[in-house]
């Protein structure tokens, strides 16, 4: 068999020096034969190509990885994304602002409510609209429930990837309780479509606050058990410590965000550094890792759940009475009974539904700290009811772009752990 | 107004075309030919320290006479300040810019997405391929305003192409080169791949 060659083409996975020149040598031109692990059979330097996904349980969706292996060591991992591309950004240009909300559900479908909040917040910033106090607190509750749900799924599925099935079942049990609350509030478990420009689709039902507190209590108990089952578990630590390390410098340079960035020791949390929804008035800590490996990402997410519980307790405590929507007929639909009996309300209702919310010309980049990282919607408006451009800054997409760099030189089985640690949702990566 | 805008004007003079503000954010329009230089300066100058590239995207306006804008959303982690840099590319000229991947590795996929969706080419990008659409996608760049919502080809034509697609094209030539599979392909397929035939679509009979 002829010795395999690779074209002298720099792929995205090559590292670059400051001049932009690739620093790794193309395959077939590297070190002479026979070099490698001691005692390993001499494969004559032949590399193997394996394809993982797009239909593979460990890729968390329709991610496809083409991996070049030297024995069991990953030489290069080439992610292929786009299998779930739905053209949401294009669709958004043909819709009224409130009609975009359902599209946001379907992006990060593990945390739909924080996507909804992000959209409403961006449009309100563009319009200079000040939302009511109750709405602000309810949106904080929505964001933090999303974070908890998303991180619970992350710990569960990452556990499965590394061979720990039990935490998955515990986590899903807890997640189910929050889903019940979500369903009671919005009528849907997954596609919540919670927010409207200027407010919310509905106020919380009776007993919601008590439900949140009860869930928090049971969640803390389960988290204590997971802590005992995983955090000091020799297998868990052995599989995750020192794997997929990124330094603070690298993580910043690669534009990572969220737990991925903080695990590398960079203190950047949108909630603290570009506050929104009065997050600066809540008392909570931002956990920072120091090694930047998979284990630290686990610790950061674990601690974020506990901090979210703290925020939820404070939010429930301070939840004020009052309206959830701004008092402005140009953005908020009148109540149904008014639209049916009052001429003026009917006109407002008609114009709202047919013409949508008019947004003044301008542009806004509106970030929030989603469970995956810095989720931002960038809107450009030309003064009509439909955006000229709706850009989603997808945290999972940008975090995933660090995968080739993180997995270089690790074992194939570690690639699974590293991929899990990114916390991707393909709905958001591909949009 | 962000003081960095003035600093940029002092440092780069006429390369800073215009400074505006929207929703509290400062937007600096710069000369597209000097984007990389300006962004590298913003990253490294001690008083600026915009070391975090939050986003790279592009905007095309509904008015066809307005230029296409490439947008860089910067954030300074040490100073906690944001700044938006824009480079306006007239649509009658080539849509080309210097890549900022040498400055921020994180721009890699973001620029690929802008290329995929808008057709802006980034000079010096290490791997400028489509990212969300597949490599043989031949209908153009979906987020351009002249691109119809349902795509350029009819649904039947899209189905026909999907059925006629060469399954080998799912691997790039580089990837095939790593594996035995490449050498096990029939001679003519290898030759076609070598010629770079991927990316071309079969002759359309069904019309648009």
Residue-wise pLDDT tens digits, B160-170: 887 887 665 66
Contacts of A378 in chain B (CB under 8 A): 55, 57, 71, 73
Token duo for residue A102: 């359902």
Give the residue from A398, A399, A427, A428 with the most B CB atoms within 10 Å of its CB, the best one to mutate: A398
Give the residue from A10, A249, A363 with the most B CB atoms within 10 Å of its CB, the best one to mutate: A363
Per-residue pLDDT in tens (0 to 9) along chain A, 431 residues? 333 333 333 333 445 566 655 555 444 444 444 444 444 445 556 778 888 878 887 778 888 888 888 878 888 888 888 888 999 999 999 999 999 999 999 998 899 999 999 999 999 999 988 999 999 999 999 999 999 999 999 999 999 988 888 999 999 999 999 999 999 999 988 899 999 998 898 889 999 999 999 999 999 999 999 988 888 888 888 888 888 889 999 999 999 999 999 999 999 999 988 889 889 999 999 999 888 889 999 999 999 999 999 999 999 999 999 899 988 888 888 888 888 898 988 988 888 888 888 899 999 999 999 999 999 999 999 988 999 999 999 999 999 999 998 988 888 888 999 999 998 899 899 88
CA dist A53 → A63, A65, A80, B8, B32 (Å): 6, 6, 9, 46, 39
Angle at B168 between CA B165 and CA B170, to 5 degrees: 80
Mean pLDDT, range B55-65, rounded to an integer: 91
Q: What is the four-CA torsion angle of A65, A70, A71, A73, rounded to 10 degrees?
A: -60
Under 8 Å between Cβ of A392 and B97: no
- Work out the burial of residue B195: count CB atoms within 10 Å of its CB; fewer than 13 is exposed, 13-18 middle, 19 or more buried: exposed
> Looking at residue B199, what is its pLDDT?
47
Give the residue from B75, B103, B178 with the most A CB atoms within 10 Å of its CB, the best one to mutate: B178
Nearest CA in chain A to B25: A364
Torsion sign over Cα A255, A259, A264, A265:
positive
Under 8 Å between Cβ of B79 and B109: no
The count of other CB atoms within 10 Å of the CB of residue B203 is 5
Enumerate residues 6+ apart whose C-beta is below 8 A from A49: A66, A67, A68, A69, B175, B176, B178, B179, B181
Contacts of A94 in chain B (CB under 8 A): 149
Instruction: List phi, psi (to 5°) of B112.
Output: -60, -40
> Looking at residue A17, what is its pLDDT?
61
Number of H helices, E strands in chain A: 17, 8
The structural domains of chain A, with segments of one domain joined by +, span 7-80, 88-430
CB contact under 8 A, B101 and A16: yes
Q: How confident is the model at residue B29 (pLDDT cuts 50, 70, 90)?
A: very high
Token duo for residue A405: 């760099």
| Cβ of residue B33 closer than 8 Å to a chain A Cβ | no
Instruction: Reply yes or no on whether the pLDDT at B206 is more than 70.
Output: no
| Cβ of residue B48 closer than 8 Å to a chain A Cβ | no
Mean pLDDT, range B128-137, rounded to an integer: 84
Nearest CA in chain B to A430: B132
Instruction: Reply yes or no on whether the pLDDT at B171 is more than 70.
Output: no
CB contact under 8 A, B178 and A125: no
Token duo for residue A99: 């009609």
Distance CA A320, CA B159 (A): 55
CB contact under 8 A, B105 and A82: no
Contacts of B62 in chain A (CB under 8 A): 382, 388
Q: What is the pTM of this model?
A: 0.83
For the stretch A47-50, contacts whose Cβ atoms lie closer than 8 Å and that sit 24 or more positions apart, written own/partner, are: A47/A4, A47/A75, A47/B178, A48/B178, A48/B179, A49/B175, A49/B176, A49/B178, A49/B179, A49/B181, A50/A412
Distance CA B176, CA B166 (A): 14
Q: To which H or E segment does residue B18 belong? A: strand B16-22
Report the phi/psi class of residue A277: left, alpha or beta, with left for phi > 0 and alpha for psi in -120 to 50: left
Contacts of B137 in chain A (CB under 8 A): none
Residue (of A157, A155, A424) closest to A295 by Cα position: A155
Residue (of A308, A298, A258, A286) closest to A142 by Cα position: A308
Radius of gyration in angstroms for the set of CA atoms belonging to chain B, rounded to a whole number: 21
Burial per residue of A206-222, b for 16 or more beta-carbon CB atoms within 10 angstroms, e otherwise: eebbebbeebbeebeeb
Which top CATH class is A88-430? Answer: mainly alpha
Q: How confident is the model at residue B176 (pLDDT cuts 50, 70, 90)?
A: low
In Å, how far from its chain's centre is CA A420? 13
Q: How confident is the model at residue B74 (pLDDT cuts 50, 70, 90)?
A: very high
Instruction: Reply yes or no on whether the pLDDT at B191 is more than 90.
Output: no
CB contact under 8 A, B175 and A391: no
Under 8 Å between Cβ of B90 and B31: no
Q: To which H or E segment does residue A421 belong? A: helix A412-422
Rounded to a whole number, what is the distance in Å from the CA of A418 to chain B's nearest CA? 18
| Cβ of residue B106 closer than 8 Å to a chain A Cβ | yes
Distance CA A185, CA B12 (A): 54
Instruction: List phi, psi (to 5°) of B27.
Output: -120, 125
């Amino acid at each position: 068999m002829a010795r395999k060659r690779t074209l002298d083409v720099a792929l995205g996975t090559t590292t670059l020096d400051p001049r932009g020149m690739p620093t790794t040598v193309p395959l077939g031109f590297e070190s002479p034969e026979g070099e490698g692990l001691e005692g390993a059979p001499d494969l004559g330097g032949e590399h193997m190509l394996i394809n993982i996904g797009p239909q593979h349980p460990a890729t968390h969706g329709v991610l496809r990885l083409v991996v070049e292996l030297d024995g069991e060591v990953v030489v290069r991992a080439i992610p292929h994304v786009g299998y779930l591309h739905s053209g949401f950004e294009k669709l958004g240009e043909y819709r009224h602002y409130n009609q975009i909300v359902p599209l946001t559900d379907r992006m990060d479908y593990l945390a739909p409510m924080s996507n909804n909040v992000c959209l409403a917040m961006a449009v309100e910033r563009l319009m200079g609209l000040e939302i009511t106090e109750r709405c602000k607190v309810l949106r904080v509750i929505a964001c933090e429930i999303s974070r908890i749900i998303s991180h619970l799924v992350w710990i569960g599925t990452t556990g499965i990837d590394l061979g720990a099935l039990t935490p998955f079942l515990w986590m899903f049990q807890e997640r189910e309780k929050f889903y019940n609350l979500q369903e009671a509030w919005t009528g849907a478990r997954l596609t919540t479509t919670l927010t409207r420009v200027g407010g919310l689709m509905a106020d919380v039902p009776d007993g919601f606050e008590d439900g949140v507190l009860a869930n928090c209590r049971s969640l803390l108990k389960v988290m204590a058990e997971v802590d005992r089952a995983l955090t000091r578990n020799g297998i868990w630590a052995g599989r995750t410590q020192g794997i997929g390390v990124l330094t603070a410098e690298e993580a910043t340079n690669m534009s990572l965000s969220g737990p991925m960035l903080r695990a590398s020791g960079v203190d950047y949390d949108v909630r603290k550094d570009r506050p929104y929804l009065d997050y600066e008035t809540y008392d909570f800590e931002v956990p920072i890792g120091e090694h930047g490996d998979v284990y630290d990402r686990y610790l950061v997410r674990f601690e974020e759940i506990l901090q979210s519980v703290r925020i939820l307790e404070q939010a429930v405590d301070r939840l004020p009475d009052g309206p959830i929507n701004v008092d402005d007929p140009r953005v908020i639909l009148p109540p149904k009974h008014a639209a049916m009996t009052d001429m003026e309300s009917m006109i407002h209702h008609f114009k709202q539904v047919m013409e949508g919310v008019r947004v003044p010309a301008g542009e806004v980049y509106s970030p929030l700290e989603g469970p995956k990282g810095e989720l931002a919607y960038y809107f450009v408006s030309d003064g009509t009811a439909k955006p000229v451009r709706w850009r989603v800054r997808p945290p999972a997409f940008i975090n995933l772009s660090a995968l080739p760099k993180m997995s270089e030189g690790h074992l194939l089985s570690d690639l699974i752990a590293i991929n899990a640690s990114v916390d991707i949702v393909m709905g958001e990566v591909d949009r | 107004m962000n003081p960095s805008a003035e600093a940029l004007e002092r440092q780069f003079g006429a390369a800073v075309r215009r400074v505006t503000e929207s929703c509290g954010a400062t937007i600096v329009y710069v000369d597209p030919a000097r984007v990389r230089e300006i962004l590298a300066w913003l990253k490294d100058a001690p008083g600026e320290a915009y070391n975090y590239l939050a986003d790279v995207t592009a905007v095309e306006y509904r008015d066809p006479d307005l230029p296409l804008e490439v947008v860089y959303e910067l954030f300074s982690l040490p100073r906690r300040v944001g700044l938006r840099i824009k480079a306006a590319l007239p649509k009658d000229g080539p849509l080309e810019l210097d890549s900022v991947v040498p400055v921020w590795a994180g721009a890699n996929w973001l620029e690929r997405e802008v290329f995929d969706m808008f057709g802006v080419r980034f000079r010096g990008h290490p791997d400028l391929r489509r990212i969300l659409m597949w490599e043989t996608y031949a209908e153009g760049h979906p987020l351009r305003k002249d691109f119809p919502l349902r795509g350029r080809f009819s649904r039947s034509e899209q189905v026909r192409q999907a059925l006629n697609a060469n399954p080998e094209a799912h691997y790039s030539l580089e990837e095939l080169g790593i594996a035995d599979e490449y050498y096990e392909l029939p001679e003519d397929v290898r030759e076609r791949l070598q010629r770079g035939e991927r990316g071309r679509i079969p002759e359309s009979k069904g019309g648009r």
